[in-house]
Amino acid sequence: MEALHLAPFDVAALRADFPLLSQEVNGHPLAYLDSTATAQKPAAVLAAMDQYYRTLNANVHRGIYQISEAATAAYEGARRTVGRFIGARSPKEVIWTRNTTEAINLVAQSWGRSQLQPGDRILLTVMEHHSNLVPWQMVAAQTGAQLDFLPIDGAGRLVLDDLASVLTERTRLVAFTHMSNVLGTINPVRELVAAAKQVGATVLIDAAQSVPHLPLDVYDLGCDFLAFSGHKMCGPTGIGVLWGRRELLEAMPPFLGGGDMIRRVGLYESSWNDLPWKFEAGTPAIAEAIGLAAAVEYLQSVGLDAIHQREQQLTELALAQLADIPGLTLFGPPAAERGGLVSLCVAGVHAHDVAAFLDSFGIAVRAGHHCAHPLHDLLGVPATVRASFYLYTTEEEIERLAHALAQVRAVLALD
């Protein structure tokens, strides 16, 4: 196999920013290849959250004292930072949630329950994460709406040949993942959005896997809602984002009730706060929002274009090194059409056993159905092994992965 030469990228300098990556596992340097599940956190994010807890730890919005007002300024400043990162026109369009899952549930239960009627259609794809499937199953059962699905071809690309016939005047919502968490497929967002708009459908994009890796602008994409999580983009867990068009958010009823989302409360009725706080009941994830803003600033300092280019090169390298390993099946499209991950099966060995074997060499990967049961049913396998890459992944780690996978069947296969 001819060696692939990757463009210059100072991985060593970047890795020094991530404390966790310096440890050993089972006597080997840790090769963390599970960033699709959750990314590691740079020191800048840890420091930002630590500073909040050490110097500004007070509740936001209602404290009439100095550190509370400073905490509020930092918290709302984080909202503005994240909004600019995705091209929002106003911070009022940025709703804090716990994660992508909660953001999609918010749209399903607020917009969906108030807008959908019996006979309305919801168009999804067969590659969706459960987070962008189960909420729509639930709201369909609640409203009488029906689900339709776009299929995929053998390479894991969406099949759009019949898109015009699937999209009808009854299609009220089109919801799809920007990037598959199993196949890595980067879907044709603009084509899908344009087709949806021709029939007047509302569009939600699950961007959990794309926002950490690709530069994007919500208005350029043309969608109505976009959801993503902080922990997949070098930020903390427990913080996510729903972006929505302001006119839609203004018209939607609250998702949760309680403190901070109200204007006034009486014993028998209440009135709601302005955007974005109408959707943010209770004490928010203040430190986490501040940490997410620090993560955004860190990623911007590296450059999303550079990160995406690097990941595609790493994926090309991985696919090339894994392609000739006997008994190994790879899933998904070519490197140029996917994000930084590879999913695979090893003949005669369960995915969990493969992952445990790799862990013995200090290589951390994901094994299972990756919250995508229907997709695995279509692939005809109960589980896959997924190795995913990020800005701190090295070529040497991919070579270690390939070397270890070449040994799996000799050690563990039953045939």
Q: What sign does the dihedral 377-33-296-308 (CA atoms) show?
A: negative
Q: Which residues contact 196 (CB under 8 A, 6 or more apart)?
A: 123, 167, 171, 174, 202, 203
Catalytic position from the list 223, 234, 345, 371 = 371
How far apart are the C-alpha atoms of 358 and 216, rounded to whole Å? 34
- 46-301 and 11-32+303-412 share a CATH fold: no
pLDDT in tens, 324-345: 999 999 999 999 999 999 999 9
N residues, the chain: 415
CB count in 10 Å sphere of residue 56: 21
Contact 152, 127 (CB under 8 A): yes
For 74-110, the DSSP string reads HHHHHHHHHHHHHT-S-GGGEEEESSHHHHHHHIIII
Which residue do the tokens 């706060």 mark?
273
Residue 235: φ, ψ to 5°: -95, 180
pLDDT in tens, 104-138: 999 999 999 999 999 999 999 999 999 999 999 99
CB count in 10 Å sphere of residue 147: 13
Q: Looking at this protein, which amino acid is placed at residue 189? A: V
How far apart are the C-alpha atoms of 244 and 224, rounded to whole Å? 6
CB count in 10 Å sphere of residue 8: 7
The pTM assigned to this predicted structure is 0.95
Which residue do the tokens 């009439």 mark?
64
The domain segmentation of the chain, as residue ranges, is 11-32+303-412, 46-301
What architecture is domain 46-301?
Answer: 3-Layer(aba) Sandwich (3.40)
Tokens matching residue 213: 């890796």
Which residue do the tokens 């008994």 mark?
327
Kindly give the parts of the chain with pLDDT less than 50. 1-7
Contact 36, 385 (CB under 8 A): no
Is residue 371 among the annotated active site residues? yes
Closest to 378 measured CA to CA, from 196, 216, 158: 158
Q: Which residues contact 311 (CB under 8 A, 6 or more apart)?
A: 213, 339, 340, 389, 390, 391, 393
How far apart are the C-alpha atoms of 313 and 319, rounded to whole Å? 10
State the pLDDT at residue 288: 98
3-class state of residue 292 by DSSP: helix
CATH class, domain 11-32+303-412, is alpha beta
How far apart are the C-alpha atoms of 321 and 1, rounded to whole Å? 8
Closest to 191 measured CA to CA, from 148, 216, 158: 158
* Cross-strand partners of 102: none
Contact 351, 196 (CB under 8 A): no
* Cross-strand partners of 171: 121
How far apart are the C-alpha atoms of 129 and 210, rounded to whole Å? 13
